[in-house]
């Protein structure tokens, strides 16, 4: 598994690319298929005695997609934590065409959101410039309190 980050410092964006080879996901997929054979109930076979080849043919693509998705999630999260990358939210996957029937090596790309400093916007009183609070002291007249946006 190879993970690279191409940063674009001007726009505070980047592209995180994960390259998976068959050696990365094959052991976990085989293990999951064997687990499915123990739980599979197919007509004509005793429970748990379904051949591995039949389970691979019936559920192989789904198991492969599920395991690759788990691996991608763990790999991207660990890469972000190890390299101390500050993000706003989760990295969004870039849409790509993946053919699980013929491809053995996969490339997935993610767009990490930029890190941003967020401040809570507090409404201030236009008359006094003070933060919201006890407006009876700041605005003794009721009509002044009614015009203040921070009183609601």
pLDDT at 2 over 80: yes
Q: What are the residue ranges spanned by the domains of the chain?
A: 2-111, 122-152
Separation of alpha carbons 28 and 64, rounded Å: 9
Check residues 93 and 151 and name the one with the higher pLDDT.
93
Q: Retrieve residue 91's tokens.
A: 């990295």
Please tell me the predicted confidence (pLDDT) of residue 30. Answer: 94
More confident site: 48 or 130: 48
Query: Tens digit of pLDDT for each residue in 65-79?
Result: 999 999 999 999 999
Mean pLDDT (the chain, rounded)? 80
Q: Residue 21: name the closest of 32, 9, 13, 29 by CA.
A: 29
Query: Dihedral of CA 116/12/112/85: which sign?
Result: negative
Looking at residue 98, its pLDDT comes to 86
* Whether pLDDT at 152 is above 60: no
Summarised one tens digit per residue, pLDDT across range 81-106 is 898 887 777 888 888 888 888 888 99
- End-to-end, the C-alpha distance of the chain in Å comes to 55
Residue 152 in tokens: 């609601």
Is residue 3 over pLDDT 60?
yes
Extended strands (E) in 21-62: none
Residue 134 has pLDDT above 70, yes or no: no
Res 6 pLDDT > 60: yes
Of 116, 71, 73, nearest in space to 91 by CA: 73
Q: Which residues pair with 13 in a beta bridge?
A: 8
Position 48 scores a pLDDT of 84
**Average pLDDT rounded to a whole number, residues 124-146:** 59
Q: Does domain 2-111 have CATH number 3.30.70.1050?
A: yes
Coil, strand, or helix at residue 5? strand
Q: What are phi and psi of 42, to 5 degrees?
A: -120, 140
């Amino acid at each position: 598994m190879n993970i690279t980050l191409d940063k674009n410092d001007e726009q505070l964006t980047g592209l995180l690319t994960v390259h998976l080879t068959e050696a990365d996901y094959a052991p976990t997929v085989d293990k999951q298929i064997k687990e499915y054979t123990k739980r599979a109930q197919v007509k004509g076979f005793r429970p748990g005695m379904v051949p591995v080849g039949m389970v691979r043919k019936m559920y192989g693509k789904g198991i492969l997609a599920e395991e690759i998705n788990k691996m991608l999630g763990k790999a991207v999260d660990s890469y972000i934590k190890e390299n101390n990358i500050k993000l706003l939210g989760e990295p969004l996957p870039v849409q790509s065409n993946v053919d699980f029937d013929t491809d053995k090596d996969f490339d997935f790309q993610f767009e990490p959101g930029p890190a941003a400093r967020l401040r809570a916007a507090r409404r201030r009183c236009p008359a006094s410039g003070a933060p919201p609070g006890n407006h009876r002291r700041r605005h003794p007249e009721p009509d002044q309190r009614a015009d203040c946006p921070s009183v609601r």
